[in-house]
Structure 1
Amino acid sequence: MKSSKLLNIGFGNYVVHHRVVSIVTPTSSPMRRVREDARNEGRLVDATQGRKTRSIIITDSNHVILSAIQAETISQRFLQEDND
C-alpha cells in the first residue's frame, strides 16, 4: 500500500498530498462562486480556524478546502513534498 504524504494547510490541519488538484487565491469572482457552490452542495471544508481565508484548495473528490495560509506558502510546501 502506498503511504500518503500529508500537506500542512495551517493551524494543525492537513490534506492528503496526492488528492490536491489546485491551490488558488480566493479573491476572484469565479473562486467566490466555487466556494459558494461547494457550501450549498456540502463539499466545503473550512480549515481557517476563524481567520481570514487566504487560499482555496480543490481536491480530486471535488471538495473545496479553505485555508488561512497564503496560496504561495501552501504551494511551496506542496512542491517540497514532491521533492521528498
Structure 2
Amino acid sequence: MSIKLVNIGFGNIVSANRIVAIVSPESAPIKRIVTEGRDRGMLIDATYGRRTRAVVITDSDHVILSAVQPETVKQRLHTDSSEDDEEIN
C-alpha cells in the first residue's frame, strides 16, 4: 500500500488514504463538528489566517481547516490518483 498525499493549500499536505470527507464549512452540522474538534484538541487550522473554505475530516477524527475550495481539494486528490495509475501502467 503506497502513501498518497494531497495538497490542501499553502504547502500543507494530508494523507489521502486517511481522508473521510471534504466538506464546505457553511452548514450548522459542520460548524458543530469544527467546534467539537477544537474542544477535543483534534482541530488543525491550515488556513494561514485566511477564510476557511473546506473542512477535511479524517478517519482519526481530526478536523482540518483549509483555505481552498472543497472542489479544488477533490481535483488535486483525483489528479494525484490518476498520475499514480499512469505510472503503474
TM bucket (normalised to shorter chain) is: over 0.9
Cα distance in 1 for partners of 2:11, 2:69 equals: 15
SS of residue paired to 1:83: helix
Cα distance in 2 for partners of 1:18, 1:72 equals: 18
Aligned length: 83
After superposition, residues 38-77 of structure 1 pair within 5 angstroms as 38-77=37-76
SS of residue paired to 2:72: helix
Q: Which runs of 5+ in 2 are unaligned?
A: 84-89
Q: Shift of the alpha carbon at 1:3?
A: 3.2
Structure with greater helix percent: 2
SS of residue paired to 1:82: helix
- Over aligned residues, Cα RMSD in angstroms? 0.8
TM-score, reference length from structure 2: 0.89
Letter in 1 for 2:58: T
Cα distance in 1 for partners of 2:10, 2:70 equals: 15
What corresponds to 2:11 in structure 1?
Answer: 12
TM-score, reference length from structure 1: 0.94
